[in-house]
Amino acid sequence: MSKIVIFGTGDIARLAHFYFTSDSNHHVVAFTVDAAHLKNTQFCGLPVVDFKRVEKLYPPRTYHMFVALSYTQLNRLRARKYLAAKNKGYRLVNYISSLATVFKNVQIGDNCFILEDNTLQPFVKIGNDVTLWSGNHIGHDTQIENHCFVSSQVVVSGFCQVKPYCFLGVNSTIHNGIVIAPQTIVGAGAVITENTVEKGVYVPPRSIRLSKSSDKIKL
C-alpha cells in the first residue's frame, strides 16, 4: 500500500478520494493546493497543505501523488500541475477501477483516472494524465495520448489515435481508424467520421422543440 497526496480540493478530488479509499491499495493521507486556493485546512477529514511546501511535509521518497483536476483550459491546467508534481520528484499514481475491463496487454501511463465500466480492448495504449470517465469503449489498437479527457459513454473505435489535450464529450462516437488532432473538442453526441483538424471543435445538430405540446403526441 502506498500513501498518496491528492492535488486539488474540488469535486474531482473528492471523487478521487472516494475511489482511492474504497477501491485501491493506495491510502490518501492529505490534499494539496496552490496557496491562492488554500481556503480551508481540512478536506474530506484530511489536512490540506500549500503545494509550495508539500514536499517538506510529505516527502516524495515516502509519498506519491495524484493530480485530481478536470478538463479546465482543455486539460492544460491539469497538465501543468502534473508536471509541477513530477518536478518535485513525486511518482504519480493511477486509479483504475476494479469494475473496468482492462486486458493484460493494455499500456497505461501515470496519473490516469479510469472509472467503472470502461472497456479497454487489447493493444490499447493510454498515455499520461488521461481521464476516462465511466462507461467508455476504447477499441483495440487505439492510442489515447497525454493529457486527454474522455467523458461518459464515448465509443472510440479500433485503430484510432487521440492526440494530446483533447476532450471527447458524452455519447460521442469516433469511427474506425480516425485521428483526433491535438486540442480537439468533440461535443456531446457528435459522430466523427473523418480526421479532425488541430484545435477543431465538432458538435452535432441540435435538438429542436416542436410546436406541439407533449399531450398532443400519440405514444
Is 140 catalytic? The answer is yes
The DSSP code sequence of 94-157 is -EE-TTSEE-TT-EE-SS-EE-TT-EE-TT-EE-SS-EE-TT-EE-TT-EE-SS-EE-SS-EE-
Tell me which of 26, 27, 137, 140 is the catalytic residue.
Answer: 140
Sheet order of strands, 155-156 included: 101-102, 119-120, 137-138, 155-156, 173-174, 191-192
C-alpha span between 137 and 20 (Å, rounded): 22
Q: Which residues are catalytic?
A: 140
